[in-house]
């Protein structure tokens, strides 16, 4: 049976509760794949696994970074990959759980660490492309990096320009950066299960959860304390923080704050579903409205025992 799994899906679909039950059935430890649950002092805002859930199953990469610090997908990969290796070395299975698709992609398809864009070089290349056409630039790419040229279509100006930009900045073909990233991928493929619900059920759960966070769980006080800190740019992206800040500063009523926050999270859930539909080899499972987490987990465990994933990996691109 596969030793590394991923359980993904939109926010509020019920991943945390199902994951705890599934991890116990699989003999797995959970590695969070959530860009916000990594932060401390945001337990309610991020709906991180509860203390009880974390005592049932070992969780990793939750509540471990101060919200005053930025956190990137590259840092996530550097932390997550060795954790997964250690879990496997202990004879356990690893269950990657979360809704941040880019983080999962960094582990399963690789992440190119080529240097960031250089505005001057990029603008120069775009100007040249507009003058002579993308095929001419593709011919130039062919002369310096045949591997990249074979993977990038002559009409794909954006990726041609990126490849030429990297070569201009580093003197190294972009394909060499791809190989370097590929060497850091997980050993063996990850079997990915996506859980979802009907659109109406998912939206109902989102709306209800946010009301509970405000009226029962004290999220407003949590935000009030967070705003005393010099929050990092990435920590400030957590859903609900900006909306509640508007309420606390008297710029919006609580009723309007709730309505706008609910709408933002519903829109985010749609974007998550669009992203995950592009994930290679993902198996979707729709959860019935009233099915308890342990029954969902039992069905998923049975599916994981039956599903076999292809031996080939998708090619790494930037």
CATH of the domain at 151: 1.10.20.140
CATH of the domain at 262: 3.40.50.300
Do 231 and 144 sit in the same domain of this protein? Answer: no
Do 247 and 202 sit in the same domain of this protein? Answer: yes
CA angle 298, 300, 303 (to 5 degrees): 115
Residues 218-241: what's their mean pLDDT?
96
Do 78 and 63 sit in the same domain of this protein? Answer: yes
Q: How far is CA 250 from CA 229, 230, 237, 264, in A?
A: 20, 21, 21, 20
Q: Label residue 107 by pLDDT band (50, 70, 90).
A: confident
Do 103 and 144 sit in the same domain of this protein? Answer: no
pLDDT digits 0-9 by tens, 180-224:
554 445 545 789 999 999 999 999 999 999 999 999 999 999 999
Of 188-192, 224-228, 306-310, 313-317, minimum mean pLDDT range: 313-317
Do 88 and 134 sit in the same domain of this protein? Answer: no
Do 167 and 204 sit in the same domain of this protein? Answer: no
Residues 271-286: what's their mean pLDDT?
91
The 3-state secondary structure of 132-176 reads HCHHHHHHHHHHHCHHHHHHCCCCCHHHHHHHHHHHHHHCCCHHH
Retrieve residue 34's tokens: 């959530």
8 A C-beta contact, residue 220 and residue 226: no
Domain contains 200: yes
**8-state DSSP, 61:** S
Do 209 and 271 sit in the same domain of this protein? Answer: yes
Domain contains 177: yes
Domain contains 311: no
Whether the per-residue pLDDT at 314 is higher than 70: the answer is: no
* % the chain with pLDDT above 90: 73
Instruction: Tell me if the pTM is above 0.85.
Output: no
Do 190 and 261 sit in the same domain of this protein? Answer: yes
The whole-number pLDDT of residue 112 equals 67
Q: How many structural domains are present in the chain?
A: 2
Phi and psi at 32, nearest 5°, equal: -70, 140
8 A C-beta contact, residue 119 and residue 179: no
What's the CA gap between 17 and 49, in Å, rounded?
8
pLDDT digits 0-9 by tens, 9-53:
999 999 999 999 999 999 999 999 999 999 999 999 999 999 999
Of 6-15, 89-98, 277-286, minimum mean pLDDT range: 277-286
Q: Label residue 289 by pLDDT band (50, 70, 90).
A: confident
- The domain of 145 spans 119-182
């Amino acid at each position: 049976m596969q030793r590394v799994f991923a359980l993904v899906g939109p926010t509020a679909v019920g991943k945390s509760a199902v994951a705890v039950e599934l991890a116990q059935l699989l003999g797995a430890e959970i590695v969070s794949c959530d860009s916000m649950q990594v932060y401390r002092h945001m337990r309610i805002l991020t709906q991180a696994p509860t203390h009880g859930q974390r005592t049932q199953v070992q969780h990793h990469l939750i509540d471990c970074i101060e919200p005053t610090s930025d956190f990137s997908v590259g840092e996530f990969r550097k932390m997550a990959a060795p954790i997964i290796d250690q879990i496997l070395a202990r004879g356990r299975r690893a269950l990657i759980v979360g809704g941040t698709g880019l983080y999962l992609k960094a582990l399963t398809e690789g992440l190119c660490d080529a240097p960031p864009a250089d505005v001057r070089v990029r603008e120069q290349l775009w100007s040249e492309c507009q003058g002579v056409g993308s095929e001419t630039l593709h011919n130039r790419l062919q002369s310096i990096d045949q591997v990249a040229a074979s993977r990038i279509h002559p009409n794909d100006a954006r990726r041609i320009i990126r490849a030429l930009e990297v070569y201009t900045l580093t003197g190294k073909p972009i394909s060499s950066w791809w190989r370097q990233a590929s060497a850091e991928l997980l050993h063996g493929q990850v079997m990915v299960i996506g859980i979802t619900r009907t659109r109406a059920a998912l939206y109902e759960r989102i709306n209800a959860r946010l009301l509970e966070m405000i009226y029962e769980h004290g999220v407003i006080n949590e935000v009030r304390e967070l705003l005393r800190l010099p929050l990092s740019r990435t920590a400030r992206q957590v859903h609900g923080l900006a909306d509640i800040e508007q309420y606390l500063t008297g710029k919006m009523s609580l009723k309007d704050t709730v309505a706008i926050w609910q709408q933002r999270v519903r829109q985010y859930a749609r974007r998550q579903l669009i992203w995950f539909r592009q994930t290679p080899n993902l198996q979707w499972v729709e959860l019935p409205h009233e099915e308890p987490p342990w029954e969902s987990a039992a069905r998923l465990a049975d599916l994981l025992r039956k599903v076999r994933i292809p031996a080939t990996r998708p090619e790494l691109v930037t």
